[in-house]
Amino acid sequence: MFGVDFSELVVILVITLIIVGPERLPKVARTLGHLWGRLQRYINSIKADVSREMAAEEFRLMQQKLKQEAMSIEQAVKQEAIDIGQTVTQAVAPDLPPDSSPAGSATAKSEVQADAGLRQALSAHAPEQNKP
For residue 131, the model assigns a pLDDT of 46
pLDDT score recorded for residue 93: 76
Mean pLDDT computed over every residue of the chain: 81
pLDDT tens figures, 40-91: 999 999 999 999 999 999 999 999 999 999 999 999 999 999 999 888 888 8
How much is the pLDDT for 48?
Answer: 96
Main-chain dihedrals φ then ψ at residue 46, nearest 5 degrees: -65, -45
Q: Give residue 92's pLDDT band: very low, low, confident or very high (50, 70, 90).
A: confident
Looking at residue 104, its pLDDT comes to: 44
Three-state secondary structure of the chain: CCCCCHHHHHHHHHHHHHHHCCCCHHHHHHHHHHHHHHHHHHHHHHHHHHHHHHHHHHHHHHHHHHHHHHHHHHHHHHHHHHHHHHHHHHHHCCCCCCCCCCCCCCCHHHHHHHHHHHHHHHHHHHHHHHCC
* pLDDT the model gives residue 105: 45
Which pLDDT value is given to residue 98?
57
Listed residue (82, 85, 93, 80) closest to 124, CA to CA: 93
* Mean pLDDT value of segment 92-119: 60
pLDDT digits (tens, 9 = 90+) for 8-45: 888 988 898 899 888 998 999 899 999 999 999 999 99
